[in-house]
Structure 1
């Protein structure tokens, strides 16, 4: 799940009454009224064939055999090939959309002969092959008064907090720092992932963990030992969307339903839950629905480069013709649906405006029919590929597991601990049945 668009806005009521939470705005919609006409056997055509163990196999390949799948890397490319080959074997017509992505920065930090994990923000300057070597300067929080003339030519070590990252870097640069390292003020195993907005730094910049920052501050800085920060810029990189389409027979200009997930991850994170889980469920649904009669066009779309700003889904939606947008009735987007974190007991249905639509209403109707164990919670939030569909004028919902009330994500989010052992096969089965029944309710030829 990306963090670059639309911060959370909590609804005035998060709607957690009873074991089945949903917004009263669903009311007695047409979708719910029609649901009474469905036989449970109709759902069974899908849910009895959904096999979570197959999804687990996909997650294992993506997260363990490939590992982190950063946009534009060979690992992301291998993931795209894996998805394409599977969908081809299922008999789908496949379209591959290749698109350019912003320059990618990757870096390393060496101190006392040890490598320190870093994240390099977009907007940082790069170094030459030898890197930037220098001693550290303790700049506290990075206020102008935290710098003296002694920072000239040194690498400023700054704590996160109070000021924006861009202001910290600007103050350090104006004081004469040759580079900037910002360490987190919160515990975590992943290096600090910063957003500089539109700010373009004139010096190399890196983010590190709180533990690493304190180690540099207490062990390296007092000895006046040099550290080396190396940042490489990868230019002209590309990523891919993989699109599998089924069109109904004898239906002219059918409605289109988009079922989507992103397959890339962030640096250092194997991405088992974020988002091999969503990818694996959509792959399994594609296998099941490859041959059932449908009366609407069904598109399974796998996005690259979600984690760097929803780039793949933006490209996909912007490439839709005006006529395709008019025929598009909804988007089911799956992101982080498989965590075993015991506090993530609710399936959140995130919409950008916080309002229900055909996708959320259909999911509510399916959950009632199936007696889905986990409550559904309608919530106002962006930060995943459903944003691109909403901005393109298409009803969309992001399905994701969170903790009720707090809406917190699993503690493994964007960390090296996002691995297979923290995936729940039972929850994969639950979401697969729920989304499968919902999708088939809309596209199935009854």
Structure 2
């Protein structure tokens, strides 16, 4: 049994520290080890020992871990209960590998999240519909209404039937207060702010809109892919009713997951550390950032 507030009985120094790192590999991972990385000047140079390490990795095991993190647990926002579930899972795996494991707690900033529900099942259900919530908007509340697109926040075009609706607009930070105030005055129950598209291969992430104070309705910021799908749906249906729920996560504690094991060289040998992060950004299940690195760290630890 491992005491999560301290070290277990299972060994001493040796290797894995962290909140985790890298990328899951296929069964024959030649491309993952030998190919030139995006942005790199040259292909990697691997020695015999490097290839010995690579040959011991299992993509099947890595993908099973990745399924737990990104599908069973899902978004792992720092300090929230889902991130703690991930920390406990990782610590349990390190326990099985024979490491002395412990959780090292530390405080993190408040988080403000939102969930978007499609009342009529029009939007794709296989996408993460988590978003960021404005700390200056209405929190810990659920609203529902049809979507009304007013275009750019700098020059919105208001339809006649805004009352009871959820307004969407292309976000500009300086225009947020005026847009939200006008939406409230017209009877909107919520506002969804849409990010500017980033240049491929980058994509804008969900965000918690700043610059608002005591707005009486929820205001949320979605990701680029969520923006595209909402607008695509509006182009083909007469009505797109959505339900928005916002949550304030306060007084948060995150954890470093640390595993230690004595190396074969004894106390005089080098200390090898492998680290990264297992939390994820708002609005994503974290399969790539950084679930892929987390599961490879587990493979190296095993």
TM range (shorter): 0.5 to 0.7
Structure 1 residue 103 and structure 2 residue 111: aligned? yes
* 1:194 aligned residue: 207
Gaps of 5+ in 2: 1-38
Q: CA deviation at 1:103?
A: 2.9
- Corresponding residue SS for 1:182: strand
* Structure with greater helix share of residues: 1
Structure 1 runs, 4 residues or longer, greater than 6 Å off: 113-116
Gaps of 5+ in 1: 1-13, 23-31, 288-446
* 1:428 aligned residue: none
Structure 1 residue 156 and structure 2 residue 164: aligned? no
Question: Judging changes above 3 Å, is the alpha-carbon distance between structure 1 residues 282 and 264 closer, same or farther for their aligned structure 2 residues?
Answer: same
CA RMSD, Structure 1 to Structure 2 (Å):
4.3
Question: Judging changes above 3 Å, is the alpha-carbon distance between structure 1 residues 57 and 181 closer, same or farther for their aligned structure 2 residues?
Answer: closer
Q: CA deviation at 1:64?
A: 4.2
Match of 1:123 among 135, 144, 154: 135
* 1:91 aligned residue: 98
Residues of 1 paired with 2:55 and 2:232: CA distance?
53
| CA contact 1:151–1:175 (8 Å) conserved in 2 | no
* 1:232 aligned residue: 247
Q: CA deviation at 1:96?
A: 0.8
**Higher RCO structure (Cα 8 Å, ≥6 apart):** 2
Structure 2 counterparts to residues 1-400 of structure 1, below 5 A: 16=41, 20-21=42-43, 42-43=49-50, 46-101=53-108, 102-111=110-119, 117-123=129-135, 125-127=137-139, 129=141, 131-133=142-144, 137-144=148-155, 146=157, 155-158=166-169, 160=170, 164=172, 166-177=173-184, 178=188, 179-183=190-194, 193-194=206-207, 196=209, 202=215, 203-206=217-220, 207=222, 208-216=226-234, 219-220=237-238, 228-246=243-261, 249-251=266-268, 257-266=272-281, 269-287=284-302
TM-score between the two structures when normalised by the length of structure 2: 0.61
| CA contact 1:69–1:266 (8 Å) conserved in 2 | yes
Question: Judging changes above 3 Å, is the alpha-carbon distance between structure 1 residues 146 and 74 closer, same or farther for their aligned structure 2 residues?
Answer: same
Aligned length: 245
Q: CA deviation at 1:278?
A: 0.9
| CA contact 2:70–2:291 (8 Å) conserved in 1 | yes
Residues of 2 paired with 1:86 and 1:227: CA distance?
39
Q: CA deviation at 1:265?
A: 3.2
Residues of 2 paired with 1:110 and 1:70: CA distance?
22
Question: Judging changes above 3 Å, is the alpha-carbon distance between structure 1 residues 260 and 175 closer, same or farther for their aligned structure 2 residues?
Answer: same
Q: CA deviation at 1:139?
A: 2.0
| CA contact 1:106–1:231 (8 Å) conserved in 2 | yes
Question: Judging changes above 3 Å, is the alpha-carbon distance between structure 1 residues 90 and 52 closer, same or farther for their aligned structure 2 residues?
Answer: same
